[in-house]
A and B are shown apart, each in its own frame.
Chain A
Amino acid sequence: MSNYNNEMVEKFRGNFLKEVEANVEEGDWVKMCMQCGVCSGSCPLGPHWEHPPQEIFMLIRANKREEVLNSSSMWMCTSCYNCIARCPRGLPITHIMHGLATYAKRLGLAPKQQATAKFAQLFWDNLVKTGRVNELKLGLSLYFMNGIGEGIKTSLKMKDIGLGMLKTKRMSPMEMLGGHGCKDAKGLHAILKKAKEIEEAKIGIHGA
């Protein structure tokens, strides 16, 4: 468990709602939930969630910190925005879910084997390298995300599609060699570094 996590446990001792309000994007809204359940009923992935949004909000108010932050629930959100459109209290539920996921990850509490979390990291790492997504590399890293054996199996299954894409020039094998990037990758890295500094200062991360 990270230092940052310990720090936050110490700081908000026993009041998870306040912690969420301070550290999670749109966390201020959590207290306004009136437990009608429209969000849970509207979520296309609702039945697959460990805790639907309504329960997440109740868990936060009931001080169940570990249960919320360790949950895979927020990672199930596909950003369809059904819940936001329908929430009678106007809670930005989608944003709160992403905010909670981000916060859990930052604390080092996000579930380790969660597919969405894993892919999100792969996507981010791929993107920031050159400033452009390298689809060939991203695709392959997705195939091999869960080990070599599964990677080879998936690659073979997809080979006809891959060859077809090569033939119609939708994919270039040359992308394997570094690939193309944005005009000023260095500048982008500087921007992202600064953004990270600002954000961490805001929520009080010291040497995470």
Chain B
Amino acid sequence: MADAKIGAYICKGCGLGERLETKQLVTIATREGKAGVAKEHDFLCSAAGVEMIQNDINNEGVNRVVIAACSRRAKTEAFAFDGEITLSRVNLREGVIWVRPDTDEARETTEEMAADYVRMGCAEAKYMTPPASAQEKGSNNHLLVVGGGMSGMTAAIEAAKAGYPVTIVEKTGALGGAAANFYKRIPDRSPYAEPMDTGIDAMIKTIEADAKISVKLNSTITKTSGAPGSFSADITTESGATSTENFGAIIMASGFKSYDMNLLPELGGGKSPDVVDQMGLEKLAKAANGGAIKRPSDGREIKKVIFVQCAGQRSEKEGHLSYCSGHCCSTSIKQAMYFKDQNPDIETDILFTDLRTPGAPGEDFYRSGQEKGITFRKGVVSDVSPAGGSLKVKFKDLILNEEISDEADLVVLATGQVANAGVDIEAVKQDEPGEWKVNADSILNMNYRQGKDLPHLKHGFNDSHFICFPYETRRTGIYTCGPVRRPMDIQQAIEDATGAALKAIQAMENAQLGRAAHPRSGDLSYPSFRKEGCTQCKRCTVECPFGAIDEDERRYPVFNESRCRRCGTCMGACPVRVISFENYSVETVGQQLKAVDMPDEFSEKPRILVLACENDAYPALDMAAQQGMQYSAFTRVIPVRCLGSVNTIWITDALNSGYDGAILMGCQKGDNYQCHFVKGSELAHMRMSKIDDTLKTLNLEQERVATYEVAITDIKRAPQLIEDMAATIEKIGMSPFKF
């Protein structure tokens, strides 16, 4: 590769020319930043400005481009250059002139701020190399769908329609899953008034007729290995015959089990054949096929049915499900209609505490149920027991505030959905390397360092970034859809499966180009590590949120580039700092913070380092600038890919070189995390909780380092946090470490 040559370009547009001494900045870039080429331009993102830079790349050998203009989030299309270059963006607009007042007093500190950012941009450029795509490229575009229910079949049909070959692996002897037992489903089209056909038979026919889709029944996955574009799966039939096939991406649609109603004896579960759960009623209705549904116990005519909502769910009792399964209210309405449509004189009472029919059509369906004469009573059932050939139902009516004892011929319990999410990898012990064994309870049986199945989040459902990016799991190239992700009904499962199919296709295509998948979609950089320096501490393999790093027999990390999301969490974790990306490393950030001009202790000009997550905190600061908010001129903000990529050496270096305070801004962590890389923010908070030791060693106050969760909407709060730090420094005084 050609020698690095920095080209620094200072923009004078958007008021930068009036507010800043751009000539001075050009000098700084040349003298201190060692830029081979440094120019100012009236309007850098114009065709002429872009052409000037492209010309320097083509003819002057510039391969480290530094643009000192607006935020890195602006004008990305204009500043997309051809050629093997790196791009550094110096944020003079949102980061300097928009957050500072245009006054004579402020002019000096504003100028210093801009000068520092130019130095930082050049320092970063010096330590970057242009990213080449990963060497490990998978070219397989065959999709594996695990589970042949509504979700799995939908994903397969959608992917096949888009032109990709699909293999469905189904554990049972037939396609259709839970929905195959349904008589009808909740309507998905206007006027949302009548139960409609499930469509399962038509889907099975479509799949059978589609040459792109192959189906393996009575089969399970006994081993999954590889990475996006090059997965390998062992498919084992009931008889034990195993075949190994290669796939580009995997969709896990392993569905749900109904909560076992035998665990609810107080509601009659298991005490009488006339107490059934919703799945049980579907079977009865399917057998009756539009005729009168008879009592399971004696085949007698049914005159009254009571539906008990929230049976064993939304309850904090031991062994119950604490969550709402979402579909059961609508399902009970649908099932009550089975009776009402056949004979309007059958009494159907739905006993609920909170009736919820999610989705826009839900309310119409509820109304249709009321019009058909279904009785809805707000009440809590305390006991269901067989009595004299029928069932006695005791409940408290919450509107009338009285205890009621009623009789019914049939009681239907709305029990919840329990995910078939495989083994909980945090609860199951890992196999030692080389001693890997198949686990019969596992769905995917992955040979990954971090465990055999996709990690769970809450209540046994797979972690799927439910807030911002559904379907995305913590294993790249493997997507979940349907009730394995969260409880849902058929309609939601269909939408879910369609989304997952598209994500899987995207992952396969990205893998072929050697590019990262979501959220740094298209990123060509990948982590490399210096094996000589590695101490086999395993932090990177344990902490990688995506299980991208395996271990070899000697416990050295084995990077799977295609599984990597390029968050840099491994880089932040590494105590010996041997992990780096071409354009993002311990050096690219470390050199930036060292490039800042450090005024002495008596100058009354402190320096505050802000490491801000590029996904949420940095945009929040940009937006604050757009809204005319201001913050201290002593601030130096460096965007990071994820707070998880922050190596504590940066903080130590900053404090050692005289910074008076450091602020880390990452995303929300915990169960309701907003971190784009799931665990990054959490890990950073954990690491920073140990920074106190460093501070103590340096004899510095603890208040000098602060870690915050900042959402993209914290537009007022983010600058305020900086102001707070400035005030703290004023109170506790300057750092003595200025040289």
Contact = CB atoms under 8 A, between A and B. Distances in A.
Q: Interface SS of chain B: helix, strand, loop or mixed? A: mixed
- Ordered nearest first, which 4 A-B pairs have the shortest CB separation? A58-B399, A32-B370, A31-B370, A61-B375
A175 interface: no
A58 B377 contact: yes
A31 B400 contact: no
A35 interface: yes
Interface string B351-368: 000010000000000110
A111 B643 CA distance: 72
A128 interface: no
Contact of B399 (A31, A32, A55, A89): A55
B634 interface: no
B320 interface: no
B371 A32 contact: yes
Interface of A: 17, 31-32, 34-35, 54-55, 58-59, 61-62, 64, 89
Contact of A35 (B373, B378, B404): B378
Nearest to A61: B375
A58 B400 contact: yes
A59 B400 contact: yes
Contacts of A64: 400
Nearest to B366: A34
B397 interface: yes
Contacts of B371: 31-32
Interface of B: 355, 366-367, 370-371, 373, 375-378, 397, 399-400, 404
Given A17-B373, A61-B377, 14 more contacts: A17-B375, A31-B373, A34-B355, A35-B399, A55-B399, A58-B378, A58-B399, A58-B400, A61-B375, A62-B377, A62-B400, A62-B404, A64-B400, A89-B367
Contacts of B404: 62
B345 to A, nearest CB: 9
A35 B366 CA distance: 13
A17 B374 CA distance: 11
Nearest to B404: A62
Nearest to B347: A15
Contacts of B400: 55, 58-59, 62, 64
A76 B366 CA distance: 31
Nearest to B367: A32
A62 B366 CA distance: 19
Nearest to A57: B399
Contacts of B355: 34
Given A31-B373, A35-B378, A54 B399 contact: yes
Contacts of A54: 399
A15 to B, nearest CB: 9
Contacts of B366: 34
A159 B556 CA distance: 106
A11 to B, nearest CB: 15
B367 A35 contact: no
A62 B376 CA distance: 10
A89 B371 CA distance: 12
A31 B399 CA distance: 15
Nearest to A32: B370
7 contacts: A17-B375, A31-B371, A31-B375, A34-B376, A61-B377, A62-B397, A62-B400
B376 A35 contact: yes
Contacts of B378: 35, 58
Contacts of B370: 31-32, 34
Contacts of A58: 377-378, 397, 399-400
Contacts of A61: 375-377
A133 to B, nearest CB: 40
Contacts of B377: 58, 61-62
Nearest to A88: B363
Contacts of B367: 32, 89
A58 B370 CA distance: 13
Nearest to A30: B370
Nearest to B372: A31
Q: Which of A17, A34, A54 is the most central at the interface, judged by chain B CB atoms within 10 Å of its CB?
A: A34
A141 B174 CA distance: 82
A31 B404 CA distance: 20
Contacts of B376: 34-35, 61
A96 to B, nearest CB: 15
A1 to B, nearest CB: 25
A66 B367 CA distance: 28
